[in-house]
Amino acid sequence: VIYKHALRNALIPTVTVIGLSFGSLITGAVLTESIFSWPGLGRWATQAILHSDMAAMTGFTLLIALIFVSANLLVDLVYGALDPRIRYG
């Protein structure tokens, strides 16, 4: 009873918050890598911006957009699994 009624309805807002906070997670990684000089995609993107490397900036933007769209697609699929009232089509 708890899983069928309470947990399913409680997980929908939780999944929404996780999906929306994914963009902040990526932004925070870029900021953290830049401040602490850790090697990673964030620092690479910052160096590309500072050196006006358009190919690297375009690639990084495309990669982040692809990850973000994939995460939102995953959130939408989880919605369908949690709430059978949600129909696709």
Evaluate whether 78 touches 59 at the Cβ level (below 8 Å).
Answer: no
**How far from chain centre, in Å, is Cα 74?**
10
pLDDT (mean) for 43-65: 92
Instruction: Reduce the DSSP state of residue 27 to 3 states and report it.
Output: helix
pTM summary value: 0.74
Evaluate whether 18 touches 89 at the Cβ level (below 8 Å).
Answer: no
Radius of gyration of the chain (CA): 18
The ranges assigned to domains in the chain are 2-82
Evaluate whether 30 touches 42 at the Cβ level (below 8 Å).
Answer: yes
Mean pLDDT, the chain, as a whole number? 85
pLDDT for 26 equals 82
